[in-house]
Homo-oligomer: A and B are copies of this chain.
Amino acid sequence: MTDRLPHALRSDALDNRERILEAARALFAEGLDVPMREVARRAGVAPATLYRRFPTKEMLVTEAFAEQMHACRAVVDEGLADPDPWHGFCLVIEKMCELQAHDRGFTAALISTFPNAVDFEARREYALTAIDELARRAKEAGRLRPDFVLDDVLLVLMANSGIHAASPTTQVTASRRFAALAISAFQASPDVPPLPPVVRLAPQASVPKRNQPG
């Protein structure tokens, strides 16, 4: 009987951790400027419990988005490894839209900067730099339109997050059609008029250097 109590405690602690991360992801999906107290309230734990597990908000952000960032890295690595850069680029758009159709926190993770969350920033920077490199190669191959910029990927991901379908299955189907439309839009074509001005969606600090003017 004595070994049961610690086990129960561990399992409670695990539940708390999952509850906190779930609450954090749900709240962060709307933006990262949520007070820690609100995360605790939503998770149904005492603020002290939250701070014991995640002493700083940076740690909470990094943990909350760890899985998404891991999935994101796998997707961009797969894209970069593709011998056809346009094919790799399309794969990244498709898979990212699909990841997002399953988890709305995904865009927030890619768009927000959080300078003190070193791990989080490094992973995000890695993903954005990889997409930027893939885009450079796809442009060189003449398949990606020359006026594409990295922020267009964020624009598409934000837009994808606006698609709400009646069921999870319809959500994925809708997202798939939307990703295909986005890919069509990005494809280089002699007939297509140039795009209107770029919008900076990712905060300056996060955009890889080579994308900046000058």
Contacts and interface: CB of A to CB of B under 8 A. Distances in A.
Q: Which range holds the interface residue count of chain A? A: 35 or more
A174 to B, nearest CB: 4
Contacts of A199: 165, 170, 173-174, 177
A163 B170 contact: no
Contact of A195 (B145, B180, B187, B200): B180
A184 B152 CA distance: 13
A197 B176 CA distance: 8
A124 to B, nearest CB: 18
A187 B192 contact: yes
A168 to B, nearest CB: 13
B159 A177 contact: no
A138 B199 CA distance: 29
| Max chain B Cβ within 10 angstroms of own Cβ: one of A164, A178, A181, A182 | A181
B180 A182 contact: no
Report copies per complex: 2
A155 B177 contact: yes
Contacts of A158: 162-164
Nearest to A164: B158
Interface in A92-120: none
Interface in A177-196: 177-178, 180-182, 184-187, 189, 191-193, 195-196
A160 interface: yes
A161 interface: yes
B196 A192 contact: no
A201 interface: yes
Contacts of A159: 159-160, 162-163, 178
A180 B196 contact: yes
Interface of A: 145, 152, 155-156, 158-165, 170, 173-174, 176-178, 180-182, 184-187, 189, 191-193, 195-201
